C-alpha cells in the first residue's frame, strides 16, 4: 500500500496554500452555520443572571434545553435562534482557514523534525507519536485562529442576547434593523467598553481551546487510524471520528466555556449582578460563577454544548476531508 494512501489526512506538500485555506474556510462555515441555533441556546443558558421582569426570555432558561428552545421560539420567533450568525460566518471562514492551514503546516514540520531527531520508529510508539504531533499542531493552529475569531465571537454572543439587551423594550415591538446588525453591536461594544472588550475572553478562550484542539486533533487522528487504517476517503468514518472527538472535547471544556461566556457578555444589559458585570479576568469570572451559582454553574450549557459539538465536529471534519479530496483529485 502506498504512502500516499496511508497519509491521506494531510494535503500533499505540493498543495498550494489557497487549497488549504479554502478547505478550512469551507469546514468552518459549514460547522458553525448548521449548528448555530444550538450555540445560541447554549449562550442563553450560560448568560442567565438575575434578570428583572417576568417577560424576560432568559428567566429560568437554564432549567431545560427544550424549555429554552420553546421559550425563545415562542416569544421571539424561530429566527431568533439565528441572531449573530452573520458575525460567526464572517469570522469562522477566515479563522478556520487559518486554523487548518496552520495545522497542516505545523503537522508536516513537526513530523519532519521528530523523524529526523528520532533514531527509533518502533510501531508500538506510533500511536503516541501521532497523538503528540497532531496535538501540538492543533495547539499552534488554535492560538493563531482564536486571535482572529475572538472579536467576532464576542459580537455574536451579544447579538444572541439581543432582546434582553434592551431593558424596558417590549418584546412585541419591532426593533430598528440598524440596531440588530453586526456592525451596530461592534460599534456599541467599542464605544461603551473599549477595544479590549473584544479580547477580555481571549486568554480564557485559549485556556479552553488549546486543550480542546489538542484533544480534538489527537482523538480524531487516532480514531481515524483505528477505524480507517488504510487512510481512504470515507465520509462516514470521518463523520464518526469527528463526532467522537467533538463530544469528548465539549464535555471536558464546558467549565472553561462558561467562564468565557461571562467575560464576553459582561457588558450586556442582561447581566445585572454586580460581581458578574465587573468580572474582567479569568479568576474573577470563575469566582463570580462559584459565588452566584455554586459548582453547578460551571456545567451550565453542558447538554447543548455536547449536542451541538458532536455534529459540529463531524460536519467540520467531513467538510474538510471532502474539500481535501476534491482538491487532490481535481487540481
CA–CA distances in Å: residue 51 to residues 26, 56, 162, 167, 274: 38, 7, 14, 10, 12
- Indicate if the pLDDT at residue 244 is higher than 90: yes
If one compares 289 and 319, the residue with the highest pLDDT of the two is 289
Q: What is the dihedral of CA 124, 128, 131, 135, to 10 degrees?
A: -150
Cα–Cα distance measured from residue 317 to residue 320, given in angstroms and rounded to the nearest whole number: 5
If one compares 229 and 76, the residue with the highest pLDDT of the two is 229
Note the pLDDT tens digit of each residue in 129-169: 777 888 888 888 889 889 998 999 888 888 877 664 444 33
Closest by CA to 27, choosing from 129, 108, 141, is 141
Cα–Cα distance measured from residue 49 to residue 140, given in angstroms and rounded to the nearest whole number: 35
Note the pLDDT tens digit of each residue in 77-97: 777 777 777 787 788 788 888
Query: Mean pLDDT score of the chain, rounded to an integer?
Result: 76
Q: How many Cα atoms within 13 Å fall on the side-chain side of residue 141?
A: 33
If one compares 222 and 9, the residue with the highest pLDDT of the two is 222
Per-residue model confidence (pLDDT) at position 57: 40
Within the chain, how many helices (H) and strands (E) appear?
12, 0
| Torsion sign (Cα): 293, 294, 296, 298 | positive
- Indicate if the pLDDT at residue 277 is higher than 90: no
Closest by CA to 321, choosing from 225, 218, 242, is 242
| Long-range CB contacts for residues 300-304, cutoff 8 Å, separation at least 24 | 300/45, 300/46, 300/48, 300/62, 300/258, 301/41, 301/42, 301/43, 301/45, 301/46, 301/62, 301/254, 301/257, 301/258, 301/261, 302/251, 302/254, 303/65, 304/38, 304/39, 304/41, 304/42, 304/45, 304/65
| Structural domains of the chain, with CATH | 12-330 (1.50.40.10)
Closest by CA to 41, choosing from 75, 17, 71, is 71
The cell for 51 is: 434578570
If one compares 135 and 191, the residue with the highest pLDDT of the two is 191
pLDDT grade for 265, boundaries at 50, 70 and 90: confident
Amino acid at each position: 500500500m502506498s504512502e500516499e494512501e496511508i497519509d491521506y489526512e494531510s494535503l500533499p506538500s505540493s498543495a498550494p496554500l489557497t487549497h488549504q485555506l479554502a478547505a478550512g474556510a469551507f469546514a468552518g462555515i459549514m460547522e458553525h452555520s448548521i449548528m448555530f441555533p444550538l450555540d445560541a441556546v447554549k449562550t442563553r443558558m450560560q448568560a442567565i443572571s438575575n434578570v428583572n421582569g417576568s417577560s424576560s426570555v432568559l428567566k429560568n432558561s437554564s432549567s431545560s434545553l427544550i424549555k429554552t428552545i420553546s421559550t425563545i421560539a415562542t416569544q421571539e420567533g424561530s429566527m431568533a435562534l439565528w441572531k449573530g450568525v452573520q458575525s460567526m460566518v464572517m469570522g469562522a471562514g477566515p479563522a478556520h482557514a487559518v486554523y487548518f492551514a496552520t495545522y497542516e503546516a505545523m503537522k508536516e514540520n513537526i513530523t519532519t523534525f521528530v523523524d529526523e531527531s528520532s533514531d527509533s520508529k518502533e510501531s508500538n510508539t506510533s500511536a503516541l507519536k501521532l497523538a503528540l504531533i497532531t496535538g501540538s499542531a492543533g495547539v499552534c493552529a488554535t492560538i493563531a485562529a482564536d486571535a482572529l475569531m475572538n472579536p467576532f465571537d464576542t459580537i455574536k454572543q451579544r447579538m444572541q442576547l439581543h432582546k434582553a439587551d434592551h431593558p424596558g423594550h417590549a418584546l412585541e415591538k419591532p426593533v430598528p434593523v440598524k440596531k440588530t446588525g453586526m456592525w451596530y453591536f461592534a460599534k456599541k461594544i467599542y464605544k461603551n467598553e473599549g477595544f479590549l472588550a473584544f479580547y477580555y475572553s481571549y486568554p480564557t478562550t485559549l485556556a479552553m481551546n488549546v486543550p480542546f484542539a489538542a484533544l480534538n486533533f489527537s482523538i480524531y487522528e487516532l480514531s481515524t487510524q483505528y477505524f480507517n487504517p488504510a487512510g481512504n476517503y470515507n465520509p462516514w468514518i470521518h463523520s464518526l471520528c469527528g463526532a467522537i472527538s467533538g463530544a469528548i472535547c465539549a464535555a471536558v471544556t464546558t467549565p472553561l466555556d462558561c467562564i468565557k461566556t461571562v467575560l464576553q457578555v459582561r457588558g450586556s444589559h442582561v447581566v445585572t449582578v454586580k460581581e458578574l458585570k465587573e468580572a474582567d479576568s479569568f479568576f474573577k469570572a470563575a469566582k463570580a460563577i462559584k459565588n452566584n451559582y455554586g459548582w453547578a454553574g460551571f456545567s451550565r450549557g453542558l447538554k447543548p454544548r455536547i449536542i451541538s459539538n458532536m455534529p459540529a465536529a463531524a460536519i467540520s471534519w467531513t467538510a474538510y476531508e471532502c474539500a481535501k479530496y476534491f482538491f487532490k483529485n481535481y487540481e
